[in-house]
Amino acid sequence: MRQKITGRFSASSIEALYQACLGGLGIVNLSRWYVDPALNEGRLEQILLEDAEPEPLGIWAVYPTSRMVPPKVRVFVEALEGYINNRPLT
């Protein structure tokens, strides 16, 4: 089931949503790696939904074609992917 949420504040900036949440304006669905510091410091609280699960959020590396990617970009993307996939969620 999908539920449309409306309110007085909306933003397309992750940082704006994060700061609004920190300021007490409501809840936000952000990547765990983005909010971990605030969770660990007790500035944010995780809300676990019993009857729903948020849609997974993706991170994409976009470049023209695989033939034209400089080796240093390819190495960076692979390292970032390894870091994100191996990072514990707690």
Domain spans of the chain, in order of start:
14-86
pLDDT tens for the 90 residues of the chain, in order? 676 777 778 888 999 999 999 999 888 888 888 899 999 999 999 988 888 777 776 778 887 777 788 889 889 888 988 887 776 544
Locate 36 and state its tokens: 């971990």
* pTM metric for this prediction: 0.59
Judge contact between 64 and 10, C-beta under 8 A: no
Q: Which pLDDT score, from 0 to 100, does residue 88 have? A: 54
For the record, the structure tokens of 72 come out as 């240093």
- For residues 60 and 76, what is the distance between their CA atoms, to the nearest angstrom? 13
